Amino acid sequence: MQLAQRVQQLPPYLFAAISQMIEAKRAEGVDVISLGIGDPDLPTPPHLIERLQQAATDPANHRYPESEGLPELREAVARWYATRHGVTLNPASEVVVLLGSKEGIAHLPLCLIDNGDVSLITDPGYPVYEVATMFAGGESVRIPLTEENGWLPQLDDVDPADAARARILWLNYPNNPTGALADLPFFERAVAWARDNDVVIAHDLAYADVTFDGYVAPSILEVDGARDVAIEFNSLSKTFNMTGWRAAMAVGNAEVIDALTRVKTNMDSGLPQAIQQMAITALDDPRDAITSHNEIYQRRRDRAVEVLRELGLHLDPPKASLYVWARLPSSEPSSGDFAARLVNETGVVVTPGASYGDAGEGYIRISLTVPDERLEEALTRLSRFARGEAVFSA
């Protein structure tokens, strides 16, 4: 059997490798605690589950949904953007409902990339941007991000030859994995650069509402003229602890949204309508549940920062996202070696920064999405490791 080249060159998905490592250690009898995957442990708010249960009993929701999403949900998305970001969207032409933002991210290059075209990928960054480009026959050119530059791409340093071939610039702020933030002046510069170079910006705003210390994350669409060159992916997954329900949306430039809708119409049959109706309830709710969840994540962040500093790691406490990104001491040979040592000696899994690209080497990422008692156990083990104490008895 001969597999397609695109599959043969496909690297193992990052989190699949983490899952395999966890299973291997558990088979050895180790009580493994994974801080590697950003899947909220907090449940979906009960009133949203009640709305889903109610909607599931309606026979009208037992049929195929619409690929672009219910008009009522697209209108709810537009209301959310108007209230949350001060952005006016046309729900008929500037909003499409997704089966999770990962699905939309994976399909977008099929709309914009032909063989030989380029996607500009920030490094470190979410691996799906590059994989989706490869599936579409394109080439990814990495833009290194550095701590010194606040993990923001220096767009004026992009090679003009790469810019001339580029069709997509991927941005993601608040950022995964670094937790970095971007302000409106940065987005203004990015929009101007994209207009000058005839490039579409794809901004991944999945962590917009997981924020701390009073920080409020902007949308790129708040910039004047952004819709000429940009679309934005957003999701209910992290905002409302709804990762399992796969409710998300893409908004922005009408031409790109139309292209993405046409691809989706040929690829999937849309998000189940009962879930869409739950999503409408979520988007129209007050922000009480969001505030309550963020207080929990902020408390976890503060405790994690304390212990990571005991380990000799350098970090700035993130003001957004579900992660803490930390620089290793220069004495550590690599992020992979450090992560392997932690799992072997403490049973705690962290994500090596190099998994997100070459520029992530020398860093690790930990997730705050484990229950309080398990997170405290993990951090206690790491604290003992930092003091040179054995975590497991011989």
The DSSP letter of residue 322 is S
In the chain, % of residues over pLDDT 90: 88
Dihedral sign (CA 32, 35, 39, 43): positive
* Apex 75 CA angle, 74 and 77, nearest 5: 65
On average, the pLDDT of the chain sits at: 95
How far CA 108 is from CA of 231, 245, 250, 325, 341, in Å, comes to 10, 21, 10, 28, 38
**Rounded to an integer, what distance in angstroms lies between the CA atom of residue 69 and that of residue 273?**
8
Of 101, 104, 123, 100, whose CA–CA distance to 112 is shortest?
104
Q: pLDDT for 321-336, tens place per residue?
A: 999 999 999 999 999 8
Looking at per-residue pLDDT, the higher value among 6 and 324 belongs to 324
The DSSP letter of residue 320 is B
**Residue 296 scores a pLDDT above 60:** yes
Of 363, 364, 390, 385, whose CA–CA distance to 310 is shortest?
385
Q: Where are the domains of the chain?
A: 5-44+288-386, 47-284
- Which numeric CATH code is attached to 47-284? 3.40.640.10
Q: How confident is the model at residue 272, as a pLDDT?
A: 97
Query: CB-side exposure of 305: number of CA atoms within 13 Å?
Result: 13
The DSSP letter of residue 364 is E
3-state secondary structure 274-313: HHHHHHHHHHHCCCHHHHHHHHHHHHHHHHHHHHHHHCCC
Task: List, in order, residues 6 or more apart from 370 with CB less than 8 Å away.
Answer: 33, 34, 35, 41, 378
Sheet with 323-327, strands from edge to edge, namely 323-327, 363-367, 351-352
**Rounded to an integer, what distance in angstroms lies between the CA atom of residue 60 and that of residue 41?**
32
**Residue 213 scores a pLDDT above 70:** yes
**What are the start-end ranges of the E strands in the chain?**
33-34, 95-99, 118-123, 139-144, 166-171, 200-204, 230-235, 247-252, 323-327, 348-349, 351-352, 363-367
How far CA 28 is from CA of 21, 23, 176, 312, 376, in Å, comes to 11, 9, 31, 29, 23
Of 174, 101, 104, 110, whose CA–CA distance to 136 is shortest?
110
Terminal CA-CA length for the chain: 48
Domain 5-44+288-386 bears CATH identifier 3.40.50.261: no
**Residue 394 scores a pLDDT above 60:** no
**Rounded to an integer, what distance in angstroms lies between the CA atom of residue 50 and that of residue 110?**
37
**Rounded to an integer, what distance in angstroms lies between the CA atom of residue 80 and that of residue 282?**
10
**Rounded to an integer, what distance in angstroms lies between the CA atom of residue 241 and that of residue 42?**
6
**Residue 67 scores a pLDDT above 90:** no
Cα 300 → chain centroid: 19
Of 172, 218, 166, 161, whose CA–CA distance to 194 is shortest?
166
The answer to whether 355 and 338 are in contact (CB under 8 A) is no
**Rounded to an integer, what distance in angstroms lies between the CA atom of residue 67 and that of residue 377?**
44
The radius of gyration computed from the CA coordinates of the chain, to the nearest angstrom, equals 21
Q: pLDDT for 87-124, tens place per residue?
A: 999 999 999 999 999 999 999 999 999 999 999 999 99
Q: How confident is the model at residue 139, as a pLDDT?
A: 97
Dihedral sign (CA 58, 243, 29, 31): negative
pLDDT band at 18 (very low <50, low <70, confident <90, very high): low
Predicted TM-score (pTM) of the model is 0.95
pLDDT band at 14 (very low <50, low <70, confident <90, very high): low
